[in-house]
Amino acid sequence: MNTIKVLSLLIAVAFMNGCAPSPSDTVERIPFVEDLIKQMTIEEKVGQTAQITLDVITQGNGHSSNEPLQMDTALITEALVKYHVGSVLNTANNRARDVQTWHHVVSSIQKVALEDTRLKIPVLYGIDAIHGATYTAEATMFPQQIAQAATWNRDLVYQAAQATAAETRASNIPWNFSPVLDLGVDPRWPRMWETFGEDPYLISEMGVEVIKGYQGNDLNSSTTVAACLKHFIGYSTLASSGKDRTPSEISDISLREYHLPPFRKAVESGVASVMINSGLINGIPVHSSHDIITGLLKNELGFNGLVVTDWADIENLHNRDKVASSHKEAIRLAFNAGIDMSMIPYNYVQYYDLLVELVHEEAVSMERLNDAVRRILNLKYKLGLFERPVVEPNSAVFSDAHKKLAYLAASEAITLLKNEAGLLPLSQNTKVLVAGPNANSMRTVNGGWSYSWQGEKVEEFAQDYNTILESLEIKFGKSNVVYVPGVEYDFGGRTYLDEHQVDIQAAVDAARNVDVIILCLGENTYTEKPGDLSDLMISENQEKLAIELAKTGKPIVLVLNEGRPRIIRRFADSMDAIVQTYLSGNHTGDALADILTGEVNPSGKLPYTYPMFSNSLVMYYHKHSEQSKTPEGMYDYGGGVYHQFGFGHGLSYTSFNYSNLVVSQEEFDENDELWVSVDVENTGEVAGKEVVMLFSSDLYASLAPDVKRLRRFDKIHLNAGETKKVTFSISADDFSFINAQGNRVTEAGEFTLSIAQLSETIKLLE
């Protein structure tokens, strides 16, 4: 059944049963805010719902600021005094600024808000600080979300978020458009690296840690920021093209089983704001869906915070999606659907005038407008902006401790996928050839949203850090390192796909005089629409480079520096070792060098399934029918699920043995708590970290069950020869699923619990 139809049915039933109050009835009433709302005119209320980009109020042509950056007091005054604009986002001219500049920018805005507006309401400033304070020059750049997921280390993720919050707030920005809780299920999608991978439970756990790290115990702090979940909901499931912002077809079962749980858990954790999916689900733009925004998010999940659009997405209802015949109709649809704040970002006068008209015409009710304004002002109040709209610059926040944390996160993210004949670790006197387009670039190890939107300005800001090549030269000694890229990116090209200076033969010739080749392949930086792909295969030039170097007979360590898994099937077997760095930030090179030489034992695990074929993009929690066993009497045409590396895969320089899997009881009912324990022993010669994963399989159900699902995980450290008992608690709720009627149920029957190669079958009683 259509997602929207099912949601409408569920919401209608709730209303008939009298258990779904208006979302405005449940939003916190703060006396200070309520008094302010009573004083506000319709125009002042409408202005609070408008969010503009910084370029609009700086000197320039309105879409691109002059350099050096200068605030334009007249433009600020027009926006804040005449049109009562309540929020500003982004950076000017798409580039990072130092802390002093950010202080000047925000102070200039707040000065007008507090001195020249009637009610002295401060402006709420927001930014995409997704792996560090993205647009602050001094910021610590942590691994991107996909790499943080690969650490499987909740505490590291929490600490990275905490550090990011402190550095973002020190930049006078109290609102962070992060984390992304979309499923990373389609590697064609250019935003996969912004996710925590493909598994709903892993995403949920990491998402909560980020929110705790950003928001702390008190939003009114100089070291915390308001988090913003994105993108609610279903953004990452793309019907056919795999390209950004293209339509999705999602059943209600799939929406609720896989997409909704991370958002539900994040809302329960107290997240302050939510950003809406820019795309369409089943033909309906999410920004126009009352069923999704108000019915599902605000009513069912009980979200009482601020709902903001993505970039220009109300305008897109008219300009792109053609569901609104005018901009006025687009605003009516979105605002009545439950949008509280519109990221306009340029045409704010039109938005303001039209929403004022709609309110006067009663096409948008005063109740709806007050609800939106209440949510906005509540957040400003909780952030302490009325009493402290600006914080003094504090460069001490950008500390060596944060840099050490970023290095640690990179070292735990980097994942050893293959290590034939124990090639790794390498001796530091090994003579190596370093090749490939990703070997000598700070841009590629950081990815997009790094000092600029597409990451093209990284080299300007990251000069104090080491590229992979520079780290290897330090580690092995310059005399032992030969650098011949063979293929290079055209960083000045029109797209991130452009490559130039292709001289594969030069790299092949250089390989004759070395012991080992370290081949650094992957992707140039991109994000969102500019990162769209038409072919998931790694580039032809890089593939040819790998194949030709393999013909030399020299051992090859393939280093993959990529935001999504690109197909390497044609040469993977000829690589002796394969290491995935993802986009692990400014410390990628140093962490990788320490792993390659054994100073750090790799402990990363894949947070997604690495595909072998472009036409076999299947998650680990697929259905049994997708395994395509050949029917009796038929020829075996090789059907089935193929992957290069499985979800959760990752090797170590030591070995771990699992034994004594024990479940507290073989039979249980819906009220029982089960305890599952297993002994893990480090049977190797060096200390290492291991991720212990508990999976469950429903043997039979009324709806075809997934092959298996991740239920719990823990990352432990074991010295050589050490054994630890790991214990997990689970209940009947952990075996629930969305049935054909759209209800979450747990059905009686048998389930298999598995950890590593061990398994036990248990039974849920009627």
3-state secondary structure of 35: helix
Residues contacting 478, CB < 8 A, separation 6+: none
Sign of dihedral through CA atoms 545, 546, 550, 556? Answer: positive
Show Cβ contacts of residue 273 under 8 Å, excluding neighbours closer than 6 positions: 175, 226, 227, 228, 229, 305, 306, 307, 308, 379
Q: How far is the first Cα of the chain from the last one, in angstroms, to the nearest whole number?
A: 29
Whether residue 367 contacts residue 25, with contact meaning beta carbons closer than 8 Å, is answered with no
Residue 512 tokens, joined:
């004759």
Strands (E), 289-401: 306-308, 342-343
Distance CA 115, CA 80 (A): 11
The three state secondary structure string of 243-261 is CCCCCECCEHHHHHHHHHH
Confirm if 136 and 185 have CB atoms less than 8 A apart: no
The Cα–Cα gap between 463 and 345 comes to: 32
- Residue 310 falls in the annotated catalytic set: yes
How many whole angstroms separate alpha carbon 231 and alpha carbon 225? Answer: 18
The string of DSSP codes covering 39-98 is: H--HHHHHHHTEEEEGGGGBSBSSSSB-SS--B-HHHHHIIIIIS---EEES-GGG--B-
Identify residue 520 by its one-letter amino acid code.
C
Q: What is the DSSP string of 446-500?
A: H-SSSSSSSSTTHHHH-TTS--HHHHHHHHH-GGGEEE--SSEE-TTSSSTT-EE
Of 244, 310, 371, 590, which one is the catalytic site residue?
310
Count Cβ atoms within 10 A of the Cβ of residue 735 and give its class: 0-12 exposed, 13-18 middle, 19 or more buried: buried
Residues known to be catalytic: 310
